[in-house]
Structures are given as C-alpha cells and as structure tokens.
C-alpha cells in the first residue's frame, strides 16, 4: 500500500503550496502548457493588428492593393489555425496532468482512510467521506484544469494585450488600464460573499449525500419498520435548503458576472467615444481604433475568466482543506516506530498463540469504562469460551485483541509481546476474527473465500470449504465456486455466509482464532456441521469462542463469564455448573427458551 505523501500537521505547508506539491512531478508538462499558451495568445493578439494594418495601409488609401490584402488574409487564417491547435493541445495536456494528479490524491486519500482506526468511522459519517473521495477530489482537479490554466492563459493574455495597446498608442493604452482597478474593486466586494455562499451549498450537499448513503445501506431496516414515508420527509427537509442554497449561489454568480459584463460594455463604449474623437482629430488612424476595440474586448475576457476562476480556486481550496483534514487525521492506532520484527514468515510461525490480558480496562469513551480490570491467561492451543449477557462487553474484549481499539490501561500480550509493539499487519495475520455479520464483496464465491490473496489456488479454496462444510451448498449452485455474489450477499443465507467466513479463516490460518457469536445465525443442523469442522481447525491453534448458546462451550478448556465488563466467574463447564452462580442461571434460562437467545437476529439478517 503506498504511504500517503503527507507530512505531519506542524510541518505542513499552506494547502495551496501542498496542492502545488502534487503538481511538481508534472512540472515539464506545465512548462509545455505555458509555451502553448504563449503561442496561442500571440496568435490572438496578432490578429487585430493584422486587420489594423490592412485597414490603415491598404484599404483607406487612394489606391487599395489587392495582393497584400490577400497575404494578410492568409496570415490571419494561419494565425487562427495555429491558435486553434495550440488551444487544443494546451487543454488536452492540462486535463491529462490534472487527472493524474487527482488520481494520486484519491489514492492517498483512500489508503489513508483505510488506515484510520475504527473509532474514526464511528464518529464521522460515511456520506462525508464519500463526498471527500468522490466529489472533493474532482473539484481539486479543477484547480489544475481550470484555475491554473486560467492563471497562465489569462495572465499571459492580459500582459500581451496590454503590451499591444501601449505599443499602438500609449495614451489610449493607459486610459484602458484604468478599468483594472474597477474590476478589482468589484470582485473584492463580491468575493467574500461568494465564498460564503459556496461554502453553505457544499456543506448542505454533503449532508444530503450523507443522508442518502446512510439510508441506502440501512434500507432493509427502513423497510422492515415501514419508515419509508418518514425518511422521505427527512430527505425533503434536507433537500429544500440545498435547493435554496443552489439557487442563491446561482443568483449571486449571475449578478457578479453581469456586473462585470456591464463594465466591459461601458469600456467599449468609452473606447468608441474617446478613440472616435481621436480619429476625428487625426490623432490616430481608424485601424488603430478598430484594434483597440478588439483589444479591450479581448482584455475583458481574461479578467472576467480570472475572477470567475477565483471561485474555482476557492472551491478547490475548500475541497482540498477538507481532504487534507482527513489526510492528516492521525491513525490513532499508529504502528510502533520500531516494531517487533515478524516479517519473515518463520517468525510468525514461531508464535505459539499464548494470550495474556493483564489488568485491561477500556472504554469507548474514557469517562465510561466498558471493561474493567480484565485478567486472562490463555495457554497456546487452548479452547476458551467467553459467556455473558448481551452488552456485557464480550465483543469489545475481542476488538481489543484484534487492536481495533487500544486498551485504556493494562496490556494485551501474545507470546509475551505487547500487541502495541507489533505491526498491525502482523497482528492481523496472527489473530483471525469471525463475527456474526459477514462482509461479502462483489465477486465470485472463490474470490470471497480467497479474499485479496490472489496466490491462493482453487484447490486450497475447495479444501477449506470442505472442512467447514461450505462445499456441499456451493456445489448446489449451477456455477459452483464461480457463482457471483453481491455485497449484501442476498443470494446466500446468513448461515451460508458464515460458512464462507470460516473457510476464509482456514485459509488465513491464524495462530489465534476468535469467533464472536459466529454460529448464532446457523440452524442446529448447520451448526453441527460447522462445529465439527471447527474442532478440526481449533486443534492447531488457540481458539476463543464467544457463544450465546452455552452448549457450544461445553468442551472449552476454560470459560470466562463476563458481566458488566468484569470477569465474574471462570472455570470449565462442570466447575461453573458446580458454582451454581451466574453461569448456572444463564444455562437454566437458555434451557427454558431454547434458541431464543436475545442476540438471535435471524429476522433482520
Ligand atoms: N463502538 C462502540 N461505541 C460505544 N459504545 C459501544 C460500542 N460498541 C459497544 N459499545 C457498548 O459497550 C458495551 C459492551 O458491548 P459489546 O462488547 O458489544 O457487548 P457484547 O458483545 O457482550 O454483547 C455495551 O454497553 C455497548 O453499548
Ligand atoms: Mg457482541
């Protein structure tokens, strides 16, 4: 995975400089663009001059000559063609550079988001992230394809046109230059206002997208609870302000641009008047007046475009700031600076799978501890059960072992190594977690079992699926292992998804296997199949099983009973029964209501 090329916060330059940093690898392309732009602009400036020469030297004379006029016409045409080509290439080159840059930003952004710890995703809404990755990056590309291009092109145009005017008649030229401060004042008045309006639109938009993203992923719940009308109402509530903001933005945009247009037309009128007087008094020739009127129009275009692109700059900056906020969010679970090296697979294999929780406490919110003073020692190869009511903290305990979160105090060690000193990549190869909700990706069944490990062959996949008992249902599909699955796994039952998850784990072959209510979705028959396969898998590794059905834990070497974040009882099934305490009471309950554990979520899944 490429490391994001972003420095820590205090070392970071202004977003603008940072953006330019992304452009640095393309500096030659940009230099090429500048050359093309100059060529293009020269052709544009020369054209009115050619007409001026034609008028003054060959038309408004006593004996107009045809041959030079044809030559001038040909030169004019040539200028048009050269200008066209230069314009075409400059646009193409800059678009390609812009897209490559934004591709890099998108990759940096996505790979950074992937590295963030789970609590980031719990505290930030996905819609915002989707906006970041999708539309913010597009807006950033406009910085290059529109703003930067405009600065170069329009800057050069203004300089050349100004130069041509001063060359033709410096007095009229200076008079025309008077219009520049006027334009600056007008945009200084409009600019802050436009900026604010733009910001409002964007934040309303991302709220709307966020809402839609959340609803699409929660559609099932919406439909089950018949909340369609209510959600639609909520959408309407978000949609209206967004619409208003857009209309408002449009209104101000038009107002601003028409004000500039008006100024442009006034300038032309003024030039016609002042220049006309000059012609009348024979101070200048009529061709010069023609050239001036052309130039002052040419002059307005780039200034107008520059101020318009000021908006683009603003929006790119806002987008980039937002993106760089994400980019600079430190992954709270940083890899250690000097990790315990487990690079060679030999080292990984040397790990035996001993787990120690040493007085571990943890709270999602530091004020409110979910786990308190948990101490557990699991010898390599043991089969450990964790039981407890819903909300007792069982899943939290597992999240800590897989280091989705860091402990608030205490330590978790694997073979005596504090997991915070391991590289996360290594840790996740050591600890395999199967949860109740299995994530299915778009792809074939084989892809879903192999999970990004492209070197895993078909034979291994089938072997793993046979162990878990998934093979028999997979063969019933017409396309077998090539059956296409969709992210929500709608063509698989919850139990079948679970069996695939087990097959994944077998291929991953972790030293420590954790099952979090993994069999809760299975019917009794399937569970028996899985149980058999699991016993096979569990034999070579340390296995921690969280189960609501206590029967699953009957053969565990030791069972820890968790209540309100504390270990209240521990021992084998027999020992715990003899205690006649929590465990005994739980077992009684589950015997009375077989299969009706509070965490059975078959209805939803
Ligand atoms: N991501 C989270 N953020 C905040 N609180 C959480 C989060 N996950 C779980 N909790 C809280 O932690 C407690 C233990 O939850 P959990 O570990 O999922 O229990 P169990 O798996 O035993 O049912 C519950 O009170 C739950 O509300
Ligand atoms: Mg749980």
User: What is the end-to-end Cα distance of the chain in Å, rounded?
Assistant: 33
Express each pLDDT in 424-453 by its tens digit.
878 888 898 888 778 888 888 998 898 877
Residue 77 has pLDDT above 50, yes or no: yes
Atom of ligand 1 minimally distant from the CA of 390: 23
Q: Are residues 360 and 219 in the same domain?
A: no
Q: Tell me if 392 CB under 6 Å of ligand 1.
A: yes
Q: Are residues 228 and 365 in the same domain?
A: no
Ligand 1 atom 14: residue of nearest CA: 393
Q: Are residues 421 and 447 in the same domain?
A: yes
The predicted pLDDT at position 331 comes to 67
How would residue 571 be classed by pLDDT, with cut points 50, 70 and 90? very high
Tell me how far the alpha carbon of residue 521 lies from the centroid of ligand 2, in angstroms: 13
Ligand whose nearest atom lies closest to the CA of 374: 1
The predicted pLDDT at position 600 comes to 39
Dihedral angle sign, alpha carbons of residues 193, 196, 202, 208: negative
Q: Give the mean pLDDT of 551-557.
A: 84
Q: Are residues 319 and 362 in the same domain?
A: no
Q: Tell me if 597 CB under 6 Å of ligand 1.
A: no
Q: Give the mean pLDDT of 405-414.
A: 93
Q: Give the mean pLDDT of 567-581.
A: 92
Per the domain annotation, does 605 fall within a domain? no
Q: Which is more confident, 117 or 112?
A: 112
Residue 386 in tokens: 């964790």
Q: Tell me if 461 CB under 6 Å of ligand 1.
A: no
Q: Give the mean pLDDT of 283-289.
A: 89
Residue 359 has pLDDT above 90, yes or no: yes
Q: Are residues 383 and 307 in the same domain?
A: no
Q: Are residues 356 and 323 in the same domain?
A: no
Q: Tell me if 429 CB under 6 Å of ligand 1.
A: no
Q: Tell me if 122 CB under 6 Å of ligand 1.
A: yes
Q: Give the mean pLDDT of 540-567.
A: 88
Residue 535: domain span: 345-592
Q: Which residue has the tokens 């969709």?
A: 486
Q: Are residues 283 and 376 in the same domain?
A: no
The predicted pLDDT at position 494 comes to 79
Q: Which is more confident, 132 or 385?
A: 385
The number of CA neighbours under 13 Å toward the Cβ of 299 is: 28
Atom of ligand 1 minimally distant from the CA of 389: 22
Ligand 1 atom 6: residue of nearest CA: 364
Q: Are residues 276 and 372 in the same domain?
A: no
Q: Are residues 170 and 285 in the same domain?
A: yes
Atom of ligand 1 minimally distant from the CA of 562: 22
How would residue 332 be classed by pLDDT, with cut points 50, 70 and 90? low
CA distances from 333 to 4, 117, 340, 539 (A): 16, 6, 16, 32
Q: Give the mean pLDDT of 168-188.
A: 84
Residue 400 has pLDDT above 90, yes or no: yes
The predicted pLDDT at position 604 comes to 34
Q: Tell me if 394 CB under 6 Å of ligand 1.
A: yes
Atom of ligand 1 minimally distant from the CA of 517: 21
The predicted pLDDT at position 138 comes to 83
Query: Alpha-carbon distance 546 to 489, whole Å?
Result: 24
Q: Are residues 462 and 351 in the same domain?
A: yes
- Measured N-to-C along each axis, helices 228-280 and 170-177 cross at an angle, to the nearest 10 degrees, of 150
Ligand 1 atom 2: residue of nearest CA: 364
Per the domain annotation, does 271 fall within a domain? yes
Q: Give the mean pLDDT of 93-99.
A: 86
Express each pLDDT in 35-69 by its tens digit.
999 999 999 999 999 999 999 888 887 887 788 89
CB-CB contact of 356 with 376 (8 Å) = yes
Query: Alpha-carbon distance 483 to 496, whole Å?
Result: 13
Ligand 1 atom 25: residue of nearest CA: 391
* Nearest CA among 386, 397, 465, 452 for reference residue 425: 452
The predicted pLDDT at position 5 comes to 41
Tell me how far the alpha carbon of residue 499 lies from the centroid of ligand 1, in angstroms: 25
Tell me how far the alpha carbon of residue 519 lies from the centroid of ligand 1, in angstroms: 19
Residue 410 has pLDDT above 60, yes or no: yes
Q: Give the mean pLDDT of 587-599.
A: 56
Query: Alpha-carbon distance 488 to 240, whole Å?
Result: 31
Per the domain annotation, does 334 fall within a domain? no
Q: Tell me if 115 CB under 6 Å of ligand 1.
A: no
Tell me how far the alpha carbon of residue 587 lies from the centroid of ligand 1, in angstroms: 23
Q: Tell me if 390 CB under 6 Å of ligand 1.
A: yes
Q: What percent of the chain has pLDDT over 70?
A: 90
* Greatest mean pLDDT among 72-86, 323-337, 421-435, 535-549: 72-86
Q: Tell me if 548 CB under 6 Å of ligand 1.
A: no
Per the domain annotation, does 336 fall within a domain? no
CA distances from 357 to 350, 360, 372, 572 (A): 20, 6, 11, 19
Express each pLDDT in 474-485 by its tens digit.
999 999 999 988
Residue 290 has pLDDT above 60, yes or no: yes
Q: Are residues 513 and 541 in the same domain?
A: yes
Q: Tell me if 367 CB under 6 Å of ligand 1.
A: no
Tell me how far the alpha carbon of residue 217 lies from the centroid of ligand 2, in angstroms: 21
Q: Give the mean pLDDT of 342-368.
A: 81
Per the domain annotation, does 1 fall within a domain? no
Ligand 1 atom 3: residue of nearest CA: 364
What CATH code is carried by the domain that includes residue 488?
Answer: 3.40.50.300
Q: Tell me if 370 CB under 6 Å of ligand 1.
A: yes
- Mutational test site, ligand 1, from 118, 119, 364, max ligand atoms within 8 Å of CB: 364
DSSP H helix total and E strand total for the chain = 22, 12
Q: Tell me if 396 CB under 6 Å of ligand 1.
A: yes
Q: Which is more confident, 140 or 83?
A: 83
Choose one of 267, 294, 327: the last residue of a domain.
Answer: 327
Per the domain annotation, does 4 fall within a domain? no
Query: Alpha-carbon distance 21 to 57, whole Å?
Result: 51
- Mutational test site, ligand 1, from 122, 366, 391, 568, max ligand atoms within 8 Å of CB: 391
Express each pLDDT in 453-473 by its tens digit.
778 889 999 999 988 888 988
* Nearest CA among 437, 436, 419 for reference residue 428: 419
- Mutational test site, ligand 1, from 370, 548, 599, max ligand atoms within 8 Å of CB: 370
Q: Which residue has the tokens 């008094």?
A: 281
How would residue 179 be classed by pLDDT, with cut points 50, 70 and 90? confident
DSSP string, 394-454: HHHHHHHHTTSS--SEEEEEETTEEGGGS-HHHHHHHEEEE-SSPP--SEEHHHHHHTT-T
Instruction: Report which secondary-structure segment, H or E, holds 119.
Output: helix 118-123
Q: Give the mean pLDDT of 280-303.
A: 86
Summary mean pLDDT of the chain: 83
The predicted pLDDT at position 569 comes to 93
Query: Alpha-carbon distance 473 to 18, whole Å?
Result: 53
Q: Give the mean pLDDT of 16-29.
A: 82
Q: Give the mean pLDDT of 337-356.
A: 71
Q: Are residues 429 and 484 in the same domain?
A: yes
* Greatest mean pLDDT among 313-317, 513-517, 597-601: 513-517
Choose one of 278, 293, 327: the last residue of a domain.
Answer: 327
Ligand 1 atom 4: residue of nearest CA: 364
CB-CB contact of 118 with 404 (8 Å) = yes
Residue 71 in tokens: 């030559």
- Measured N-to-C along each axis, helices 228-280 and 179-217 cross at an angle, to the nearest 10 degrees, of 170
Residue 540 in tokens: 């070579």
Q: Tell me if 76 CB under 6 Å of ligand 1.
A: no
- List all residues 6 or more positions away from 30 whose beta carbon is below 8 Å from its beta carbon: 23, 94, 97, 148
Query: Alpha-carbon distance 66 to 13, whole Å?
Result: 61
The predicted pLDDT at position 10 comes to 47
Per the domain annotation, does 338 fall within a domain? no
Q: Which is more confident, 478 or 341?
A: 478
Query: Alpha-carbon distance 521 to 50, whole Å?
Result: 83
Query: Alpha-carbon distance 87 to 81, whole Å?
Result: 10
Query: Alpha-carbon distance 444 to 532, whole Å?
Result: 26
Choose one of 277, 294, 327: the last residue of a domain.
Answer: 327
Q: Which of 6-10, 190-194, 407-411, 441-445 has the least mean pLDDT?
A: 6-10
Residue 303 in tokens: 């200034």
The predicted pLDDT at position 376 comes to 95
Tell me how far the alpha carbon of residue 396 lies from the centroid of ligand 1, in angstroms: 6
What CATH code is carried by the domain that includes residue 192?
Answer: 1.20.1560.10
Q: Which residue has the tokens 């220049």?
A: 275
Question: How many distinct structural domains can be found in the chain?
Answer: 2
The predicted pLDDT at position 340 comes to 62
Q: Give the mean pLDDT of 94-113.
A: 85
CB-CB contact of 300 with 148 (8 Å) = no
């Amino acid at each position: 995975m490429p490391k994001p090329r972003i420095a820590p916060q205090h070392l970071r330059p202004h977003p603008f400089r940072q953006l330019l940093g992304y452009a640095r690898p393309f500096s030659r392309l940009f230099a090429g663009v500048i050359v093309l732009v100059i060529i293009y602009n020269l052709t544009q400036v020369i054209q009115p001059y050619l007409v001026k020469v034609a008028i003054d030297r060959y038309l408004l004379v006593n004996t107009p000559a045809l041959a030079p006029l044809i030559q001038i016409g040909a030169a004019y045409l040539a200028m048009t063609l050269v200008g066209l080509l230069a314009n075409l290439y400059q646009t193409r080159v800059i678009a390609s550079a812009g897209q490559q840059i934004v591709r890099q930003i998108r990759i940096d952004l996505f790979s950074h988001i992937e590295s963030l710890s789970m609590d980031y995703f719990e505290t930030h809404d996905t819609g915002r992230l989707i906006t970041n990755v999708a539309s913010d990056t597009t807006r950033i590309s406009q910085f290059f394809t529109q703003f930067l291009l405009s600065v170069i092109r329009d800057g050069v145009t203004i300089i050349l046109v100004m130069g041509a005017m001063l060359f033709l008649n410096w007095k009229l030229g200076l008079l025309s230059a008077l219009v520049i401060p006027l334009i600056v004042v007008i945009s200084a008045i409009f600019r802050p206002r436009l900026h604010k309006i733009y910001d409002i639109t964007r934040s309303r938009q991302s709220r709307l997208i966020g809402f839609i993203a959340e609803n699409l992923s929660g559609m099932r719940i919406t439909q089950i609870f018949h909340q369609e009308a209510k959600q639609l109402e909520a959408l309407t509530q978000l949609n209206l302000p967004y619409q208003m903001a857009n209309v408002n933005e449009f209104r101000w945009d038009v107002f601003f641009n028409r004000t500039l247009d008006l100024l442009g037309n006034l300038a032309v009128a003024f030039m016609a008047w002042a220049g006309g007087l000059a012609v009348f008094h024979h101070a200048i020739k009529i061709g010069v007046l023609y050239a001036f009127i052309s130039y002052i129009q040419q002059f307005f275009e780039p200034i107008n475009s520059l101020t318009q692109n000021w908006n683009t700059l603003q929006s790119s900056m806002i987008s980039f700031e937002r993106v760089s906020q994400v980019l600079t969010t430190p992954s709270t679970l940083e890899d250690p600076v000097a990790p315990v090296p487990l690079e060679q697979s030999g080292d990984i294999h040397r790990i035996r799978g001993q787990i120690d929780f040493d007085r571990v406490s943890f709270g999602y919110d530091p004020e409110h501890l979910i786990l308190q003073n948990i101490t557990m020692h699991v010898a390599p190869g043991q089969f450990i059960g964790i039981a407890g009511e819903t909300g007792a903290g069982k899943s939290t305990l597992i999240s800590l072992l897989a280091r989705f979160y860091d402990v608030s105090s205490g330590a978790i060690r694997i073979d005596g190594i504090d997991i915070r000193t391991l590289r996360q990549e290594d840790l996740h190869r050591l600890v395999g977690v199967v949860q109740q909700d299995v994530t299915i990706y778009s792809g074939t069944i084989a892809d879903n079992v192999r999970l990004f490990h492209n070197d895993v062959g078909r034979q291994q996949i089938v072997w793993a699926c046979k162990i878990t008992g998934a093979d028999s249902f997979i063969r019933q599909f017409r396309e077998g292992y090539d059956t296409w699955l969709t992210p929500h796994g709608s063509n698989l039952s919850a139990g079948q998804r679970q069996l695939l998850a087990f097959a994944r784990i077998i291929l991953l072959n972790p030293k420590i296997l954790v099952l979090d209510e993994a069999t809760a979705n299975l019917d009794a028959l399937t569970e028996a199949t899985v149980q058999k396969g699991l016993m096979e898998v569990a034999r070579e590794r340390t296995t921690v099983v969280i189960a609501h059905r206590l029967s699953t834990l009957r053969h565990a070497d030791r069972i820890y009973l968790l209540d309100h974040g504390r270990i209240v009882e521990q021992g084998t099934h027999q020992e715990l029964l003899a205690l006649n305490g929590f465990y005994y009471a739980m077992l009684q309950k589950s015997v009375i209501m077989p299969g009706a554990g509070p965490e059975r979520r078959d209805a939803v899944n």
